[in-house]
Structure 1
Amino acid sequence: MIIQAAQQNIELLPEKAFLWRSENLLGLSDLHLGKAESYQFAGVPMPSGGHLADLDTLNQLIHYYAVHRVVILGDWIHNKYSLSEIVVRDLNSFFAAHRNIEWTLLLGNHETGSHDILRNMPFHFVEEELQMGPFLMTHGHKNPDTDLFQIQGHTHPLVNINQGALRLKLPCFVLEKKALTIPAFGSMTGGYAVKPGPNKRIFAIGNREIFEVE
């Protein structure tokens, strides 16, 4: 699904990411890698390994679209307790397989307290917001003082689909006049329901397809 934003073609992907093809750039947000491990640290018994599926999806996108740059709009990890020895080992292997990629991470609220650990990874760090061409990319705050089109994550948008007996809550992209909010990329994330409005278009993701919700 291709949309127009700031006179640029942005492709919304069913893997819950976006592609700025003219810049060879893949954008995503809110992976919350190591969420199970952070719960384990708190004494909640959860199976490890959920991060591998998300890394595999990211790996496939990088190869399929042959991107040169990946921008993550915050919350790469769930918290500082996410980086167990196994998770760090898998991340090191992942980055070693993608040495040609330029990695940028906008630090999100879930990165608090783990900046020193993350500096061992090949990220260019951005603390507040990143201007790229006609876009201002943020973790989730809206900058009222900019005329740039904003792309943001953080809120994990979902949309309710109610058709007869069918009741679904699906991840979605939310397109407004001056902003695009992208869904959480991670497979172990919840979210917040959004509603269509007169100045808001919602693109839901279901069965590996994207469709607009009227």
Structure 2
Amino acid sequence: MTSINVKQSGDQPNSTHCRWQWRDEELVLLAEKAIWRPVSQELFVADLHLGKAEVFQACGIPLPSDDDRATLLRLETLCERWRPKRVVILGDLIHGRLGLTDRLRADLRNLHRRLHAEVMLIGGNHDRGVQLGTLPQHPACRVGGLWLSHEPEQPIDGRDGLNLCGHIHPTTTLRQGPDRLRLPCFAFDNVEQRMLMPAFGELTGGHDCRHRYRKWLVAEGTIVPWFDSAHSSRASEVGR
């Protein structure tokens, strides 16, 4: 099969993280599908969808149950590297009530100890109505110049802010001849002043974000800025 080459802007090499500035906010986009905010030493992740395999199993679809442990281990490893004071989960920590097993409840009860950090959950649509014990669900809120939410929304406090959110699971499809490669990505909407975060969970789908967005692709432990809007626009037309 023909390989698909990912084109970057300028001569910037592939890396495990990419620093990005929005007004006075410096954010570090991580290849682990997370965002680091240096000024407050906070780590942001979204859409873990823990317990999703068990929800499918309850519906008669046989899926292995190991993805939760893999997701939590990746988060634990990430926290060991960056040592955040707080981990903020931007919604959909779990996939549904049917997936909230005793083992998962125990994992969530001890999550702050495993991560050696405070854990804050912004409630998502999949978390709604589920009691998570030591992890209360918070509404959308402001942190500095950021408006944190699960679903995309404008700040409701009357102040400008970058909406940092999950829910969409942004991806980009690269095309070269007959080949297709879909990759998770960070996607910035300059009109809405919004940064969509890729899903952190193992067992998640994605929504193809096209030329409206400035994107950073995540592939094989690297994060790659994708600035060629003309190429992205042509790819969108081909894919219609």
What is the TM-score of this pair, normalised by structure 1? 0.90
Name structure 2 gaps, 5 residues minimum.
1-17, 229-240
Q: Describe the SS at the equivalent of 1:22.
A: coil
Match of 2:137 in 1: 125
Work out whether 1:30 is the aligned partner of 2:47: yes
Alignment partner of 2:154 out of 128, 137, 143: 143
Alpha carbons of 1:124 and 1:132: their partners in 2 closer, same or farther (altered >3 Å)?
Answer: farther
Q: Is the CA contact 1:6–1:135 (under 8 Å) kept in the aligned structure 2? A: no
The CA distance in 2 between the partners of 1:136 and 1:90, in whole Å, is 28
More strand by share: 1
2:23 — aligned with what?
Answer: 6
1:144 CA displacement: 6.7
Percent identity, aligned pairs only, is 33
Q: 1:206 aligns with which of 192, 204, 219?
A: 219
Q: How many residues end up aligned between the 2 structures? A: 206
SS at match of 1:44: coil
Answer yes or no: is the 8 Å Cα contact 1:80–1:112 preserved in 2. Answer: no
2:210 & 2:150 partners in 1: Cα distance? 21
Is the 8 Å Cα contact of residues 152 and 163 (structure 2) preserved in structure 1?
no
Q: What are the superposed Cα offsets for residues 78-97 of structure 1, whole Å, 9 maximum, x if unpaired?
A: 01111112222333444433
RMSD (CA atoms):
1.6
* Code of the aligned partner of 1:113: G
Secondary structure of the residue aligned to 1:77 is: coil
Unaligned runs of 5+ in 1: none
Q: Does 1:154 align with 2:167?
A: yes
* 1:182 paired residue number: 197
TM-fit CA distance, 1:149: 1.3
Give SS of 2:97's match.
coil
Equivalent residues of 1:175, 1:181 under 8 A apart: yes
- Select 1:134's aligned residue among 133, 145, 151: 145
CA distance in 2, matches of 1:103, 1:124: 10
1:166 to 1:41, Cα distance in 2 relative to 1, 3 A: same
